C-alpha cells in the first residue's frame, strides 16, 4: 500500500479521470468531494493537500482520496503556535469525508491514519461528516480516547443536512493542547516565521520569541529563526544567550561579517570591551 501527497493544482488535475471514477462508484460521495467543486475551491486556498492511496503500490490508479487543509494560529493561553488539520468541505453548509473505491474503506482509513499520525498537529476537525460512516469511525478509532480528546462541535441545527441525513462534527485534539512532538507542521514554517517577525516588529516580544523557538525546535538549523531570536534577546537585554546564538551562527553562514558585528554589539552591551576589541 502506498500513500502519496498531492499538494499542487497541476498534480491534482492529472488525476481528474481517476477521481471521477472513484466518485461515481462511492456511495458516500457528495458534491463537496466532487472534482468540479474542488477544482474551484483549491486554487483559492494557501495550504491544502490530498492524501492519495493505492491499494497496490505498483498500481497505476489511486483507490482513495482524502482532501485536507491546514490552519495555523497562536494559542491565547500558551502563546504557542498550533496547527489544525481540517477535512476539506463547505464548512457550515456542506459535508466532508473522503472518497474510496468500495470494499477498500478500512484499509484506506488505516493508511490515512498512519500519515496523519506522522504529521505535527494539535487538532483535526471533522466538520459535518456522515453520522453512520464506518470509514470515518475507523479513522477516528486510530486516535483513541485517553490519548486524544474528542469534542462534539455541532450545533443542534447542524446535525441534519438538507436531505434529512444525520451529520456529526468532531474535533480531535491532543491532550496537551500542543502539536504532536512539540514541533510545528513543516507546511507552517514560513507562516510562523512571517507572523513571529510581525509580532517582533510590533513589540510583542513574548509572542515572537515563542515562534522563533518553535521554529528552531522543529528545524534546529533554521538560520533565520536563530538570527532573529538573537536580535530579540538583545532587544530585551538577554545578552548572554544572544551572544551564544551569534557564536553558533558564525560557522553556519557564508559571510559572517554581519554576525561578527552583532556579536560585538552584544559584548559591548555587557561591557565586555576587551572581548569586543
Q: Which of 87-91, 94-98, 163-167, 269-273 has the lowest mean pLDDT?
A: 163-167
Q: How does the average pLDDT of the chain come out, rounded?
A: 89
Matching CATH number, 187-276, of 1.10.10.10, 3.20.20.70, 1.25.40.10, 3.20.20.140: 1.25.40.10
pLDDT of 157: 43
Whole-angstrom Cα distance, residue 76 to residue 81? 9
Whole-angstrom Cα distance, residue 81 to residue 40? 29
pLDDT in tens, 188-206: 999 999 999 999 999 999 9
Cα angle: 245, vertex 246, 251; to 5 degrees: 105
Beta bridge pairs of residue 86: 69, 125
Q: Which of 97-111, 142-156, 228-242, 263-277 has the lowest mean pLDDT?
A: 263-277
Exposure b/e, 185-212, CB count within 10 A at least 16 = b:
bebbbebbbebbbebbeeebeebbbbbb
Whole-angstrom Cα distance, residue 6 to residue 39? 13
pLDDT of 167: 62
Beta bridge pairs of residue 5: 51
* 148-152 and 99-100 beta bridge pairing: unpaired
Beta bridge pairs of residue 73: 82
Contact 54, 61 (CB under 8 A): yes
pLDDT in tens, 6-54: 999 999 999 999 999 999 999 999 888 999 999 999 999 989 999 999 9
Q: Could you give the residue ranges of the DSSP H alpha helices within 79-165?
A: 105-118, 134-141
Q: Classify 189 as helix, strand or coil.
A: helix
Whole-angstrom Cα distance, residue 194 to residue 47? 15
Residue 216 has pLDDT above 70, yes or no: yes
Instruction: Name the CA dihedral angle for 221, 227, 228, 232, rounded to a multiple of 10 degrees.
Output: 120
Assigned C-alpha cell, 197: 517577525
Whole-angstrom Cα distance, residue 273 to residue 277? 6
Residue of 270, 253, 224 lying closest to 211 (CA atoms): 224
pLDDT of 88: 85
Q: Just give the CATH number of 2-181.
A: 3.40.630.30
Domain extents in the chain: 2-181, 187-276
Q: Which of 31-40, 52-61, 214-223 has the lowest mean pLDDT?
A: 52-61
- Percent pLDDT > 70 in the chain is 88
Residue 266 has pLDDT above 70, yes or no: yes
- Half-sphere exposure (Cβ direction) of 22: Cα atoms closer than 13 Å: 26
Assigned C-alpha cell, 79: 502563546
Residue 80 has pLDDT above 70, yes or no: yes
Amino acid at each position: 500500500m502506498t500513500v502519496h501527497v498531492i499538494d499542487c493544482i497541476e498534480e491534482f488535475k492529472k488525476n481528474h479521470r481517476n477521481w471521477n471514477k472513484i466518485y461515481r462508484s462511492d456511495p458516500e460521495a457528495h458534491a463537496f468531494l466532487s472534482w468540479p467543486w474542488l477544482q474551484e475551491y483549491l486554487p483559492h486556498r494557501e495550504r491544502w493537500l490530498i492524501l492519495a492511496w493505492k491499494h497496490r503500490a505498483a498500481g497505476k490508479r489511486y483507490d482513495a482520496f482524502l482532501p485536507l487543509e491546514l490552519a495555523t494560529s497562536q494559542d491565547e493561553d500558551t502563546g504557542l503556535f498550533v496547527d489544525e488539520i481540517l477535512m476539506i468541505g463547505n464548512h457550515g453548509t456542506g459535508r466532508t469525508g473522503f472518497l474510496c473505491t468500495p470494499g477498500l474503506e478500512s484499509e484506506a482509513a488505516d493508511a490515512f491514519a498512519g500519515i496523519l499520525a506522522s504529521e505535527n498537529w494539535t487538532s483535526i476537525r471533522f466538520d459535518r461528516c456522515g453520522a453512520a460512516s464506518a470509514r470515518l469511525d475507523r479513522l477516528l478509532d486510530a486516535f483513541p480516547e485517553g490519548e486524544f480528546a474528542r469534542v462534539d462541535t455541532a450545533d443542534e441545527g447542524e446535525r441534519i443536512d438538507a436531505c434529512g441525513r444525520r451529520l456529526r462534527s468532531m474535533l480531535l485534539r491532543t491532550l496537551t493542547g500542543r502539536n504532536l512532538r512539540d514541533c510545528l507542521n513543516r507546511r507552517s514554517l514560513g507562516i510562523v516565521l512571517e507572523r513571529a517577525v510581525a509580532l517582533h516588529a510590533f513589540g510583542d516580544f513574548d509572542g515572537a520569541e515563542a515562534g522563533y523557538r518553535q521554529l528552531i525546535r522543529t528545524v534546529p538549523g533554521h538560520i533565520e529563526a536563530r538570527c532573529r531570536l538573537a536580535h530579540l534577546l538583545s532587544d530585551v537585554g538577554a545578552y548572554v544567550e544572544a551572544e551564544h546564538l551569534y557564536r553558533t551562527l558564525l560557522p553556519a553562514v557564508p559571510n559572517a561579517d554581519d554576525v561578527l558585528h552583532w556579536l560585538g554589539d552584544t559584548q559591548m552591551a555587557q561591557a565586555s570591551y576587551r572581548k569586543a576589541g
